[in-house]
Chains A and B, each alone.
Chain A
Amino acid sequence: MSEVKYEKPTINKIEFAMASKYGSPMKTQNIRTEIDGVSVNKLTEKYGSPIFVFSQRQIEEKYNTLYSAFSSRYPDVTFGWSYKTNYLNEICKVFHNLGSIAEVVSEFEYQKARALGIEGKNIIFNGPYKPYEDLKIAVQEGAKIHVDNLFELNDLEKIADELDMKIPVAIRINMDTGTYPQWSRFGFNYESGDAYEAIKRMYDGGKLYLNGIHSHIGTFMLDANAYKLATTKIMQLKAQVETDFNSEIEYIDLGGGFASKSNLKGVYQSADVIVPTADDYAQAITDAIYANNKSEKLPKLYLETGRAMIDEAGYLLTSVHGYKRFPDGKKGYILDAGVNLLYTSTWYNFNIELDKHYEGENEPSMLNGPLCMNIDVIEEHLMLPALDRGSVLTISPVGAYNYTQAMQFIRYKPAVVMIDTKGEAHVIKDVDDLATVNYKEV
């Protein structure tokens, strides 16, 4: 045998339309060999494949960018870590160590925050469904309760009687901010007067008082101006309530929704072009507070930024298991990770990066997961060179919502590794096994 280097045989029809001054789709390869200095191949060798990888350095940088965008413009701002975005304990701890309080939308998220040592007063309890007993515990522990509906308001009055106390609450409102779709399912509508009515009802009852106004206008908001409108409406409502009920509202909360640099399907400009910066969002919100503040004190400002904090700090490493040639000529790769781990693949196109440079041209390819399901498509059409079996692909950004929504379906949920700020990798969640899957079955 000789030492002639082997390169898989390829043939591709030459489409002259494809050659352009922007570089050839037949040649472009996106390569990632490491994350924060740790080789992707070493990560999968050591911890298995597929595997989720988070960069603590990138989380901290993002937090600092967002925090300073606001703190440089406004004296009193606090972020609440949106647990549902990613509630792995070690991830939550990173945010809490940076100064975030917790934002939760269920009893189990609430319990998780408490188990991490977060005091009730540092937990924002949101959401349309707060079971009575859990709501009562949250009230007793001094949590920030954001009322979603009139049933909850009644429950809170009952709790006030039971505990013989007057309960401070915030109200979630929704409104038209000129964006589509309008999130009108949560909280009380501003324009219709429902929000004001609910507040009046609250004061009439005499058992609750308002200390905050909250809105979360939607997710992946590409228009910073929508926040200006939302803030303006919140500040107007605040001024009206303070006058009408002779009260002082301590805080406003603008929720989450800042876009991350994901590529939304059907949008052809790159995320770098269309996603507003942290400064754009901060400017929009703080300008509107200053412009509409009627009280002596500025309100405390809370934000519940989820995806923009963590999406780009999360990666999924997956390995090529094999490939097939489909009847339409496309090459279909079988990967060890699929849509079971990539819930957001319905809406976003991911960056797919190769672990090395390949000689040879790209050809139309498709990435399929390991599930025995026709819907298991990570990427329907992309140009790739002939990949080796076992080569590692890095899929990003996947830090927001993918792990929390990953399904234990057909395959075990994979391990999660965090690379700390010294560049060392640690397992923060082990891969599941039969015992985890069978847990609590009879």
Chain B
Amino acid sequence: MNTIDQLVLDENNILFYPMMGNSYQLNNLGNEIVTSLKQHKTKDEIIEALALKYEVSKSELFIDVSDFLSKLKIYGLLS
């Protein structure tokens, strides 16, 4: 199973990684992105969806989503 599928997300934006016993604090948008990743959405699809919902350009979203994904990788939560 992919790491992302093992992650447990609660209503307080806490993400739990049972195998390592680590917890992570997300904000709302972090929660939305992790939820989309768990639905196996691609980065492009996630950016498309966010661009429709928020008043932010795709170029800015690209930077922020890329950064968020890098941090997930650094934490070992995304391969």
Contact = CB atoms under 8 A, between A and B. Distances in A.
Contacts of A438: none
Contact of B27 (A2, A7, A14, A323): A7
Q: Among B22, B33, B56, B70, find the residue whose CB has the most chain A CB atoms closer than 10 A.
A: B70
A268 interface: no
Nearest to A331: B67
Nearest to A10: B27
B74 A14 contact: no
A14 B27 CA distance: 13
Nearest to B72: A11
Interface in B28-79: 28-30, 32-34, 52-56, 64-65, 67-68, 70-72, 74-75
Contacts of B23: 13-14
A360 B15 CA distance: 15
B24 A8 contact: no
B29 A7 contact: yes
Given A13-B23, A323-B67, A329-B71, A2 B53 contact: yes
B11 to A, nearest CB: 16
Interface in B8-29: 14-15, 22-29
Nearest to A361: B25
Contact of B28 (A1, A3, A7, A13): A7
Contacts of A359: 27
A6 B24 contact: no
B58 to A, nearest CB: 12
Query: Helix, strand, loop or mixed for chain B's interface?
Result: helix
A273 to B, nearest CB: 32
Given A26-B25, A359-B27, A11 B55 contact: no
B53 A9 contact: no
Contacts of B53: 1-2, 4
Q: Among B25, B26, B55, B72, find the residue whose CB has the most chain A CB atoms closer than 10 A.
A: B25
A359 B30 CA distance: 13
Contacts of A1: 52-55
Taking residues whose C-beta sits less than 8 angstroms from the other chain, chain B's interface range is 20 to 34
A9 B54 contact: no
A3 B55 contact: yes
A4 B24 CA distance: 24
A14 B14 contact: yes
A12 interface: yes
B64 A11 contact: no
Contacts of A14: 14, 22-25
Given A323-B67, A325-B74, A329-B75, A11 B54 contact: no
Given A1-B52, A1-B55, A9 B64 contact: yes
Contacts of A361: 25, 27
A9 B75 contact: no
Contacts of A327: 74
A2 B53 CA distance: 6
A325 B15 CA distance: 21
Nearest to A26: B25
Interface in A1-58: 1-4, 6-14, 26
A8 B65 CA distance: 8
Contact of B68 (A6, A10, A328, A329): A10
A275 B20 CA distance: 46
Contacts of B25: 10-14, 26, 361
Nearest to A6: B54
Nearest to B22: A13
Interface string A325-353: 10111010000000000000000000000
Contacts of B28: 7
A9 B30 contact: yes
A11 B23 CA distance: 10
A399 to B, nearest CB: 35
Contacts of B14: 14
Interface of B: 14-15, 22-30, 32-34, 52-56, 64-65, 67-68, 70-72, 74-75
12 contacts: A4-B54, A7-B27, A9-B65, A10-B30, A11-B26, A11-B71, A11-B72, A11-B75, A12-B24, A13-B24, A13-B75, A329-B75
Given A26-B25, A360-B27, 7 more contacts: A7-B29, A10-B26, A11-B34, A11-B68, A12-B25, A327-B74, A331-B67
The 10 closest A-B CB pairs, nearest first, are A9-B29, A9-B68, A329-B74, A9-B30, A6-B54, A325-B70, A14-B23, A360-B27, A10-B27, A6-B56
